[in-house]
């Protein structure tokens, strides 16, 4: 399979999720936000927990896993 387009993405990131043309990724220090329309980084936001790993947006919530606490939690996107 051949992809249709690529976007230069200068960060080393994990766990991509997208909502309203904003790409959210975890770099294990913060959650980066990248505007797919303007190709610009937005201000990053703090991780919801110190051991935040996977992130996924469903509805208007961002779900995450915490390895140390062994939980799945969520935050409202409006709080980011």
Cα atoms found within 13 Å of the Cα of residue 28, Cβ hemisphere only: 4
* Domains of the chain by start residue, with CATH: 14-79 (2.40.10.480)
- pTM: predicted TM-score of the whole model, two decimal places: 0.84
Dump pLDDT digits (tens) for 5-62: 887 776 677 889 999 999 999 888 899 999 999 989 999 999 998 888 889 999 999 9
Cβ contact 31:55 at 8 Å: yes
């Amino acid at each position: 399979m051949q992809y249709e387009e690529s976007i230069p993405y200068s960060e080393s990131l994990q766990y991509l999720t997208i909502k309203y043309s904003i790409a959210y990724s975890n770099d294990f220090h913060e959650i980066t936000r990248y505007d797919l329309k303007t190709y610009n980084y937005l201000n990053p936001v703090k991780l919801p927990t110190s051991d935040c790993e996977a992130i996924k947006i469903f509805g208007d919530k961002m779900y995450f896993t915490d390895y140390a606490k062994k939980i799945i939690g969520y935050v409202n996107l409006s709080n980011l």
